Structure 1
Amino acid sequence: MTTDVYFHRTGPASYRPTEHVSGGWNTAEQHVAPGFGLLTHLVEVDRDARGSDLVIGRVSFDILGTITMDVVDCAVEVIRPGRTIELVEATMSQGGRDVVRLRAWLMSASDTASIAGSALPLIPGPDDLDEWSASSVWPGGFIASAQVRRRELDLGHAVYWVRTDVALLDEPVSSTARAVGLLDIANGIATRIHPDELAYPNLDLTAHLFEAPNGGWLGFDTSVSFGRAGIGLTSSRIYDETGPIGTVAQTLTLRRK
């Protein structure tokens, strides 16, 4: 059995993580990033099975608890059906306890190429940035699986590109699901304080996509803000190599060690 994937399917709706999923805060727990990609994939699989051609415009994840390095179970439910707009929920559970919940808006696609454009600024391409080892700051298999090219612009502000050679699953997966499986790395690349001094895990992640990622490198322009009452925000613009494709936001809880 190959381990060059983040998850192996072990049943109709159950998945076992490989070592590439182990987390940065605790290597005995799963990093949520690959799980976000898995739930996105399952939303798309359910959509395709229903004969729908809607596309994902937003994914919003709530992290309900820690996830051990063991099998997870997943379920998908259409909350608001429709021909042009749907709200779909996907849940990951472990041992009967819900650990991640996704709500995704699916929307009808149309040809708007003649008016396409964005005022979001461009960032340097991956060939213009230096390689950077995220494992120099973070432990865990997920971080080790990611290739990063990065430039720090200021304290808590960096531009960078990420990709991985590890497949999400040993079955076909869309470029959108693969990209969503990398998004949660944003909270660890533009650090304000070393994680040995302060814990700042995110409680959620919401991504708005106005273009589907085209695969390959995924770019970020990430800023991290810490408030005065123990709450923080990691905010990112995201890119593929054609330009900007959306935004990502993560709510942080700040905990001194």
Structure 2
Amino acid sequence: MVVNYKRNADLAEKTVTDIEEAGGQGFAVQADVETTEGVKALFDEVARRCGRLDHFVSNAAASAFKNIMDLGPHHLDRSYAMNLRPFVLGAQEAVKLMDDGGRIVALSSYGSIRAYPTYAMLGGMKAAIETWVRYMAVEFAPYGINVNAVNGGLIDSDSLEFFYNVEGMPPMQGVLDRIPAGRPGTVREMADTIMFLLGEGSGYITGQTLVVDGGLSVVAPPFFADAGEALALPPRPTRDA
């Protein structure tokens, strides 16, 4: 397994150590995939050390959290360079190394399908990534390569904490109360979904976006969480009831 990083060498090396302790093999590669040169350098190193590639998981992402009228041209340029372009260029390079088929998985987020404050920049890029996934699935299928995305809702992570600390952002609890599962997702649940898409059991799945959000994207106002006692959901039913 190849772990790419931009600055955090310690975390990358810890990830490699975790992989090796679990019985795998891996190494870290420093490359700034915000640049076209960085993407090429990353895959040049993969080619040099591995010769081929089975899977490519694209999770590079960053953005400014601002309302649309506060965004400048530099925000647009950097968001494209940090989110969409690394995925497209990375997929192009990955395909060249997948000489016996393979899997490509891109990480997306809830903001690609729902609109909420300050997320237009990143949400738009994630929506574009999901569109590219569908086109890639069609064009890469003859090479035996499946392409899918995993769309995470509220996932308990550093990124989630950062987002809800943006000045003026409503409290996270107001969203948690509306998630049918009643809690945020975990990084492990995202990883398990990615592993499914990389595994043999998903061989006939391509061009799809799997949503991991505890049911958040299927609820709509009026919300069950806001309903009065007369409409409250009953306790868990049993056969003895």
Q: TM-score, normalised by structure 2?
A: 0.27
Q: Structure 1 or 2: larger helix share?
A: 2
Q: TM-score, normalised by structure 1?
A: 0.26
Question: Which structure has the larger Rg over C-alpha atoms?
Answer: 2
Q: Structure 1 or 2: larger strand share?
A: 1
